[in-house]
Structure 1
Amino acid sequence: MRKILVVGAGQSGLQLALGLLSNGYEVTLMSNRTADEIRTGRVMSTQCMFHTALQHERDLQLNFWESQAPRIEGLGVSVAAPGSFDPGPSQRAIDWVGRLDGYAQSVDQRVKMAGWMETFAQRGGQLVIHGAAVSDLDYFSRAYDLVLVSAGKGELVSMFGRDAARSPYSEPQRALAVSYVHGLGPRPEHPEFDAVRCNLVPGVGELFVMPTLTTSGRADILFWEGVPGGPLDAFAGVKDPNEHLALTLDLMKTFTPWEHDRATKAELTDAGGVLAGRYAPTVRNPIGRLPGGGLVLGVADVVVANDPITGQGSNSASKCAAAYLASILEHGDREFDETFMQATFDRYWETARHVTKWTNAMLSPPPEHVLNLIGAAGQLQPAADRFANGFDNPADFENFFYEPEKTNAYLASLTGA
């Protein structure tokens, strides 16, 4: 029986560990927190998982909360009108919602990771509650056939060098601020189904609103992405959770009043329901070299960390875990050497490169043809639907998003022009 160590108990680490366990591997999982500490701690992320990522969970019988989590059937885009914060529709230059082919869902990672960690132990995995340093991995690399590092923060990440050719940004491109709330009302235009709402405020930043399942049931996530140094970059010194929410709502009232209108009764789900921070989007080399000569393979955010502006983090983590699982199973009893590690990452990069390209594009002011596409989606429902489904399959943006000629040809095909 082959012995594999997974360091880090997030979406990718747990999904991969549980997948390996179900295929007969002897798996040890290292986490720096217990399931109870995760469940009662602070929120770790925003997450909206689309059909492909959800299916990876279903394939491993890990979709424990599917019947409880809100079904997200659409994805809406609103663009604030320049300098217009008057009441009424004139606040928005663009406003539409695309329908998803397969529904999306969001489960607070405190709920999911705690539940999956308990499941891992129940299914016979070895769970070790201990933070891991590079010196620990040096020892463990000799005791295990393969060591996978899926802890996306801290000392371990420094083992994986930045891939400058694939990392155009060296600084954070957005200041991030998250609030989990109860009491948010429905969007009046489409009260009959749940949708993620992407509100774009040109030159200022973005507000994302998404339904979720949290420790206290159904909730919504309010997520500001602010251009650094701008009016949304205001959360750095805020320590009190209620002050964090009040600031979030004040900024909504100023920049996205149509969303603020349904947030007048919003209150935090719990004292741990806020998060703020920033990081530079980075692609890293996938193989870490230990002082004693051993090799470890980076997973998901460790090797490809994109800005959350396109909502791809947990989706990419799920897809990475699925790709790595397939590569490990196909490798059989051969040695997990450097060639294997590079090939395993390259297989995942075939998916991840589309996410990175699209996310980095969305961090820049949109060119004219993209503005035309987003505007046209308000009159052309197929364009709205295709854009929405790109969140599940970002590779499709190659066909109609990046190049003016392809965008114009696609829009012409819809209008018969």
Structure 2
Amino acid sequence: MRRIAVVGAGQAGLQVGLGLLGAGGYEVTVVAARRPEEVRGGRVMSTQAMFGPALRVERAAGLDLWEGEAPGVRSVDAVLVPEPGVRALEFTMTMDEPAQSVDQRLKMARWLELVEERGGRVEYRELDLAGLRELAAANDLTVVAAGRGELAGIFERDAARSPFDAPQRRLAALYAHGVGAPDPAAGPRARMHAVPGVGELYLQPALTLSGRCDILLWEALPGSPFDCFDDRPGAVEQLERMRELMARYLPWEAELWAGAEPTDPGGSLCGALTPVVRRPVAELGDGIAVLGIGDAVVVNDPITGQGANGAALAADACLRAIVERGDGPFTAAWMTGVFEEFWERHARHGVELTAALLTMPDHLQEVFAAAGEHEAVARRLARTYADPADYAEWLATPELAAAYLASVGWSGSVAHP
């Protein structure tokens, strides 16, 4: 049997490990920093919203364990707020397949347990560079899916593919119970508000440890009034600040949050990240190399929801490549090829889409304006969030956007730089 080690117990790492166990013929070791009970009892890790393509991958692997329990979200209500309290542009993006959000504390803890239940080995320990080298020397292939800490630094930044060198938003997330719905009869719906010069607000129905909830994500432009969580307040204080901001900028949303409470003391998260693309192979000396996947090599701002989705698709691509390799050697050249194929097929589109949403060039603003009048444009936006490869077909340049908008009868004009 081929020995495969996976470092990291998030979406990408556990999906690869469980996929190899399902394929058979592999001795799988997963290195995780925390045990399942520690994950469940810890702080929330993300604001994940899994779109249709990524969910299909999970279902095919037998890993979508919460279908029917987690709310299925088919639409996103979008609102432009040009000044506090003013709704200037509204439209609904309807998705072809429902999205789903499961608290990663719930999801990753259960997946960790599944690794051992399905015959894998889990080592619970912190791993430094020396430990990684030892692990890699003892296995045929080592996959690193840990995007933080010392190991994240082993993969070199790819400057040509990294659009930013600093965080573009300051982030604050909260999981809450008791949030009202604008139209309860309409079923679970996500909501997004864009406040030019200030930031964005996203609300996602989800499933957490204590049942259904709503996730609120603030994307604050650095230095703006939304950027007020640097002191990392507790969940209760964070909610109070969010309510104050909503009362000023989004009073209709503040009404829905009047009776809300944090799901638990660990139900909040604050911070910032720099979107980055890193080279996928780290050479450890003596001919030992490891392969990076997931947010170990591609980190996107959550404004487009590409984090968990990109990790799921990267894990699927990695798994398929390992199985197809058969008894062949897992060389550094092979590792680079695996990533480059995934980059061209998927990852680069997610990076470009996210960069565009963070900077909002003129032609993209025109597309959002058109979505307010044309359902077809709004639906295609939803489809592009779910599958960013479509970005290259109609949003990547002003010319492409202009041609598409003309085809749907949009009477406005796309501004060219």
Which TM-score bucket, shorter chain as reference? over 0.9
Q: Which residue of the other structure, out of 387, 397, 407, is the alignment partner of 1:413?
A: 407
Q: Is the 8 A contact 2:145 2:296 kept in 1?
A: yes
CA contact (8 A) 1:6 1:28 kept: yes
State the distance in 1 between where 2:410 and 2:194 align.
29
Question: Is it true that 1:56 corresponds to 2:54 in the alignment?
Answer: no
Pick from 233, 239, 247: which aligns with 1:239? 233
Q: Which residue of 2 aligns with 1:132?
A: 127
Report the counterpart of residue 396 of structure 2 in structure 1: 402
Native 8 Å contact 2:84 2:250 kept in 1:
no
Match of 1:185 among 170, 180, 189: 180
Deviation of 1:193 after TM superposition, in Å, equals 2.7
Q: Return the letter of the residue paired with 1:13.
A: G
Is contact 1:208–1:223 with CA below 8 Å preserved after alignment? yes
Residue 172 of structure 2 corresponds to residue 172 of structure 1 = no
User: Residues of 2 paired with 1:54 and 1:208: CA distance?
Assistant: 20
Deviation at 1:238, TM superposition (A): 3.4
One-letter amino acid of the structure 2 residue matched with residue 314 of structure 1: A
For the residues of structure 1 that align with 2:33 and 2:251, how far apart are their CA atoms?
41
Whole-angstrom CA distance in 2 between matches of 1:390 and 1:31: 33
Which SS does the other structure have where 2:191 is aligned? strand
Residue of structure 2 aligned with 1:94, choices 89, 105, 108? 89
What residue identity is the alignment partner of 1:95?
Answer: E
2:243 alignment partner, SS class: helix
Q: Which of the numbers 190, 201, 226 marks the counterpart of 2:195?
A: 201
Counterpart of 1:21 in structure 2 is 21
Q: Which residue of 1 aligns with 2:415?
A: none
Corresponding position of 1:161: 156
Q: 1:129 to 1:84 in 2, by over 3 A?
A: closer
Match for residue 39 of structure 1? 40
Equivalents in 1 of 2:77, 2:320: separation in Å? 34
Q: SS where residue 5 of structure 2 aligns? A: strand
Residue aligning to 2:356: 361
Unaligned regions of 5+ residues in structure 2, if any? 412-417
1:253 Cα deviation (Å)? Answer: 1.8
Equivalent in the alignment of 2:370: 376
Whether contact under 8 Å (1:209, 1:221) holds in the other structure is yes
Deviation at 1:208, TM superposition (A): 0.5
Question: How far apart are residue 405 of structure 1 and its match?
Answer: 2.3
Which TM-score applies when normalising by structure 1?
0.96
Counterpart in the other structure of 1:80: 81
Which secondary structure state, in structure 2, belongs to the residue aligned with residue 225 of structure 1?
A: strand
In structure 2, C-alpha distance between the alignment counterparts of 1:284 and 1:144, rounded to whole Å: 23
Q: State the Cα deviation string for residues 98-128 of structure 1 (Å, max 9, x = none).
A: 1111111000000000011111111110011
Q: Partner of 2:309: helix, strand, or coil?
A: helix
Aligned residues: 409
CA contact (8 A) 1:232 1:251 kept: yes
In the superposition, the TM-score normalised over structure 2's length comes to 0.96
Q: Quick check: 133-142 or 400-409, which moved more? A: 400-409
Q: Assess if the C-alpha contact under 8 Å between 1:400 and 1:410 holds in 2.
A: yes
Equivalent residue number for residue 284 of structure 2: 290
1:319 maps to a residue whose letter is: L
Secondary structure of the residue aligned to 1:42 is coil
Contact 1:138–1:292 (CA<8 Å) still a contact in 2? no
Instruction: Name the SS of the counterpart of 1:336 in structure 2.
Output: coil
Residue 251, structure 1, aligned to residue 252, structure 2: no
When the two chains are superposed, the root-mean-square deviation of aligned CA atoms in Å is 1.3
1:65 aligns with 2:60: no
Q: Distance in 2 between matches of 1:84 and 1:42?
A: 32
After TM superposition, the structure 1 = structure 2 runs for residues 135-150 of structure 1, keeping only pairs within 5 Å, are 135-150=130-145
Which sits farther off after the overlay, 320-329 or 285-294?
285-294
Unmatched 5+ stretches in structure 1: 86-90
Q: Runs of 4 or more off by more than 4 Å in structure 1?
A: none
